[in-house]
Structure 1
């Protein structure tokens, strides 16, 4: 038997390549990409343009959604402010109901109700300057 080195035996079996060990390529600080390999980090211009266009469209959609959301929020705030203003006007101009007095009869949704009023309130209700 001939004593061939392990390297020669592996070469005969086709499990190794001649020339020895290849040095590892250095990776960039970010990992996967070799700093010196310019081809590894380039994309075809069409893919780059498509990616830029998609990013721009996404950004525009997000801006549009933000504008719509802020418009809805402003509308809600305006509605709340109007309701508060109306409520304050009602409270400022509300007439005090007397606890005793002659009853004032009125119809509300098919029912006849009565409310104690004094002479001033009765005149206001009769002339429709006041409302219930």
Structure 2
């Protein structure tokens, strides 16, 4: 998925401070969709299979790919993205960020684990009152 638009992101991993972690996902486990407002993310699969993707900010185009051992995907800074283990066994990946503190905003928690009034959430999500209240209940929100 690398192209000319992603080249500056890849270069930033080589010249700027960065942070990293190891990710292990059991079968049929997903990371909740999230953004990192202060860094791009690089995902390198070392074992198993991970379905990964992100949504562009300008056209809402979905870029998705099944990643196998040795594959890499880069999630540009600030874009909504996800990872899901769709293989038959645990998956392991190394994750690196293009900055020491990438920040994290998990979409579901941002919308439903807060005290934003349900009526406002309904308007900005096109969900009805029952759906909003159910999600707020599950995720610990109020309002």
TM range (shorter): under 0.3
Q: Which has the larger radius of gyration?
A: 1
Which of the pair is proportionally richer in strand? 2
Bigger relative contact order, structure 1 or 2 (CA pairs below 8 A, ≥6 apart): 2
Q: TM-score, normalised by structure 1?
A: 0.19
Which of the pair is proportionally richer in helix? 1
